[in-house]
A and B are shown apart, each in its own frame.
Chain A
Amino acid sequence: MRKALALLAIALIAIPAFAQTGDTIKIGGIWTLSDITGKQGSAAALLAVEEINKSGGVNGKMLELIIADDEGKADKAAAAVEKLATVDKVEAFIGGMASGAEVGKIPAYAKYNKVVVATGAASSAIVEKALGPSPGSDYYFHLHPWDYNQGASYAEGWDAIQKKFPSIKIKKIFLAYEEGAFGKSSWDATKLLFGADKRYTIDGAPFKSALLGGGDYSAVLEAAKDFKPDLFLWAGYDADALPLLEQSKAIKFTPKIYLGAPPGWPIGFGSSKLSKNVMLYGMWSPSMNDTNPASKKFYDAYVKKYREEPATYFALLAYDAVKILADGIKLAGTTETAALVKALEATKYASPLGETITFKPSNIIKHQGITRQKILQWQNGFQEVLWPFEAATAAPVFPFPAWK
């Protein structure tokens, strides 16, 4: 009892109760810090803050990023928002990855009505719905594409690729999707966007991701093999990448295009023989450094500071979130919400992701940033961008090589 009370007392004392309104602009960043996306996202955001402060800060003030962990849980995420808003008194928020945690923050975000530049949370079914329509959700700037944006951009991308490369012909698409929220929303979007007006024949089957204790794909791969797709697409996690390929090889399943859409890839995937010419959906790859100076600048600075590669594009989104927010504050001259929202609406930010980010309405909210993902391909151990063509770093290799 005594011990518990002592702990409670320490906890209460440890929370500084005074407000600090001096020469800094405080930004709160919330990620799942035990996850690589959150770890690197927060690191990249710190890098951006450092760069901005080195070049004189924003309107004469230094930026200060205060990081909090949401542990991937809604209740912890809500506590993180409250802490940043009331204890640290931050003036804007960035961050976010898992939709299930993001949706826990929304009531608190709405209560404080400070600008949020969100770096993750793709689920339109819960996050966008919970945000609700304009003007109630105007404070929220969503950088990452919604699930339906992604689906639409893939459909667009494949149309464009087939037009440009007549040798590539896709009629039948099979989607193997992990049975959780991520896979299910991918399946819904794929059915909706590829299945429309019967241009493509679509089939799909769920599997249990290795991330959640699965790892046996035999049933879904056999269903795919029977379907004989031109494009085989899987929506799962990095833990599924190599086992799926190995098990595909074991049953001699050789689609012409083998495409994966995990949020990240396992370490050293490119050095695996099986990775050859596997395609992927994503937003960024280090190969873009050759064609995109912003990408190279970010990459070099990140590697120099942290001595590791950014493993996923979530690091870049967090970096962009800080830069976009800083530009907005510069333009508005204040962090006051109405003015800052207005300033951010004018955002035209050349992202290291290889596109210019602006905010446009999506299905429900008013401020959606990126709507397109990219189609890439593993070539000789590197992720090369195939589409959009303006960011392309290589031409597609087709078909997917059959197993020897």
Chain B
Amino acid sequence: MNRNLARVVATLLGALAVALPALAGAYPLQVARNVMLYMALAITWDMLLRSGQISFGIAGLFGLGAYASILGVIRAGMPAWASIPFAAAFSALAALLIGYLILRLRGMYFSIVTLALAEIFRIVIHNLHDFTGGPEGIVAPQGVIFGGSASALYWLALGGLAVALGASIWFERSKFHFALTAIRDNEIAASTSGVNIFSWLLATFVITSGIQGLLGGIFVQSYGFATPDSVFSADFTLLPLAMALLGGIHGTVGPIMGAVLLGVASEWLKLQMPYGHLVVYGIIIIIVILFMPRGLYGLARKMARPAEGRAE
């Protein structure tokens, strides 16, 4: 895919995203909101993956942000809109503290610990009934943000996506790209070239976790409630991961493509076969992984320049 074509496609998609509320009905808008949420999560997960660190804790930081937002409104009387950046800050701060502990771990051990932390967050919120509402959950007394206006909620979701997208593109074009790729490729060479591995990982972890918290805040304010099972759902970890992989990892474009694929496939399948569509969903994941090991974007790039072998 040459650069000009990519730019045209990106511009068209951007224009589509902005024009969608004017063009589409409430249902496509709602689906788009769901897809954009997962897309943003997939992008943030990929941002950390660019350093080689595989997080299984997306749902943990997402859920933490969700509860920070709704409890900020209920317990601290914050306005709903202000609770969303607060959620981002809260998850970022949590990531800063746990990052100090866990960012020296590598490989599967890092993954497992992030997974365990997500579970710990869920259990703590589950058990602090009086403050968090416990397992039954908690409802925002003022209801859904912006009075539930479909277009306002769409803009909010698009805003969340824009933050993730902006951060990801910034990562690709700044020192982050060099630092994270160097860490992923060879930590020793990176460190003797002056890369402070721990600091860059910490910065990346804090930024991506902050965005995940932000998205949690957006989610919770868009529906006006939180329960431990809904906001710490394993879906928020596994689906973004699957989307990023199916689309293609280590870049911004792949997760976008993967999220569109899985998000749209999931809704479309449901219309075709109300009972049993989830089987086909699983099979799609299997087939894409088997036949497009580098994801949709990897395949597209390979087709665009077949002469060159290994591109990245």
A residues sitting closer than 8 Å to B (CB atoms) are 1-4, 7-8, 10-12, 14-15, 17, 33-34, 39, 67-69, 71, 73-76, 78-79, 82-83, 85-87, 99-100, 103-104, 106-108, 110-111, 123, 125-126, 129-130, 132, 179-181, 183-185
Contact = CB atoms under 8 A, between A and B. Distances in A.
A1 B25 CA distance: 24
A87 B27 contact: yes
Contacts of B235: 73
Contacts of B139: 103, 125-126, 129-130
21 contacts: A1-B296, A2-B300, A3-B296, A11-B267, A12-B28, A39-B275, A69-B277, A74-B230, A75-B219, A82-B30, A86-B25, A100-B229, A103-B139, A103-B225, A107-B223, A107-B224, A125-B138, A181-B135, A183-B135, A184-B135, A185-B136
Nearest to B133: A125
A124 B28 CA distance: 31
Contact of B27 (A79, A106, A132, A181): A79
Q: Which 10 residue pairs across A and B have the least CB separation, nearest first?
A: A125-B136, A82-B27, A82-B30, A129-B139, A83-B27, A181-B136, A11-B268, A107-B144, A181-B135, A107-B148
Interface stretch (B88-96, B105-113, B257-265): B257-265
A123 B136 contact: yes
B149 to A, nearest CB: 9
Given A1-B1, A75-B34, A180 B135 contact: yes
Contact of A181 (B1, B137, B219, B274): B137
Contact of B26 (A11, A71, A86, A100): A86
A364 to B, nearest CB: 11
Contacts, number: 142
A100 B137 contact: yes
A8 B260 contact: yes
B195 interface: no
A88 to B, nearest CB: 9
A99 B226 CA distance: 11
A4 to B, nearest CB: 5
Contacts of A103: 137, 139, 223-225, 227
A73 B230 contact: yes
* Listed residue (A1, A3, A4, A39) with the most chain B CB atoms within 10 angstroms of its CB: A1
B142 to A, nearest CB: 10
Given A1-B300, A86-B25, A130-B139, A181 B229 contact: yes
B27 A100 contact: no
A38 to B, nearest CB: 9
A275 B9 CA distance: 64
Given A75-B34, A83-B27, A3 B150 contact: no
Nearest to A185: B136
A181 B226 CA distance: 12
B223 A68 contact: no
A130 B143 contact: yes
A75 B29 contact: no
B237 to A, nearest CB: 14
- What is the size category of the interface that chain B forms with chain A? 35 or more
Interface of B: 1, 9, 25-31, 33-34, 37, 126, 129, 133-139, 141, 143-144, 148, 150, 219, 223-225, 227, 229-230, 233, 235, 257, 260-261, 264-265, 267-268, 270-272, 274-275, 277-278, 296-297, 300
Contacts of A34: 275, 278
A142 to B, nearest CB: 16
A86 B27 contact: yes
A180 B135 CA distance: 5
A15 B261 contact: no
A129 B194 CA distance: 56
A278 B138 CA distance: 35
B274 A130 contact: no
A236 to B, nearest CB: 13
B227 A33 contact: no
B137 A78 contact: no
A110 B267 CA distance: 23
A1 B297 contact: yes
A104 B223 contact: yes
B134 to A, nearest CB: 6
A14 B270 CA distance: 12
Nearest to A184: B135
Contacts of B1: 1
B296 to A, nearest CB: 6
A116 B296 CA distance: 42
B278 A1 contact: no
A74 B278 CA distance: 17
A67 B233 CA distance: 25
A62 B9 CA distance: 47
Contacts of B300: 1-2
B268 A7 contact: yes
Contacts of A78: 30, 223
B277 A82 contact: no
A69 B269 CA distance: 11
A375 B296 CA distance: 56
Nearest to B226: A126
B227 A1 contact: no
B25 A87 contact: yes
B44 to A, nearest CB: 18
Given A4-B257, A103-B225, 11 more contacts: A3-B296, A4-B296, A33-B274, A82-B30, A87-B27, A100-B227, A103-B137, A103-B139, A123-B136, A125-B136, A126-B227
Given A8-B264, A100-B230, A130 B27 contact: no
Nearest to B12: A5
A67 B273 CA distance: 11
Given A33-B274, A79-B30, A82-B26, A4 B260 contact: yes
